[in-house]
Structure 1
Amino acid sequence: MADMLRVTVAASLQASEVREWQLRLPAGASVADAVLACNIDVQHGRLACGIWGRAVELHERLRDGDRVECCRPLTVDPKLARRQRFASQGARAAGLFAKRRAGSKSGY
């Protein structure tokens, strides 16, 4: 048991869904071994892998207590999505001073 690693694998395979697995792997196991143990397909470049939020290659060795994260690529640029939401809301309905009292000065 001393030569076994405790690893958590988290994967977002679909929108609004995160699955998590608790694994015990032999010492010297790689990210690819952890992903393979969960039956996740990352070979076609669809998912990117990281350890604790830091992007890594599949051959990277794991340490005890690591969290392997598999993420889907972004479908929309976050800045563009924010601009579109703001445009649909209009300038008066968004921002810090959107809900000001009637008759009050601008900015208060």
Structure 2
Amino acid sequence: MNHVSLLGRLVRSVEVQEVGHGRFVSNNTLAVQRLGKKEEGQQQADFIPVVFWDKTAHLLKEYCGKGSLIGLNGKLASRSYLNKQEQQVFVVELVVESLHFVEPKKKVEPPIEVPF
């Protein structure tokens, strides 16, 4: 069984890229708070790589941004690739199957028009 549910905040602004054949992807990181605090009293968090595909990527772009609190359901997937130094890099990430909006969409104030 491979099912993961997370609640956390997006670490970066949302960017959606077309990868060909009508497919779209958005990669980001989710900051998930740990229970308890460090000895210094600071909150701890884990930073989980997350991948959104197609419609979910577009919904994320439309309604969320850096710092948005969201809930995610998905599955863990591992992959590897060769970096520029020809070293093999292994990645484990959450492939998102469903996205849950926890906070209302932040209103963007219209720009103030100044008469000249």
Tell me which protein shows more helix as a share of its residues: 1
Tell me which protein shows more strand as a share of its residues: 2
- Structure 1 length normalisation: TM-score? 0.28
- Structure 2 length normalisation: TM-score? 0.27
Structure 1 or 2, whichever has the larger Rg, is: 1
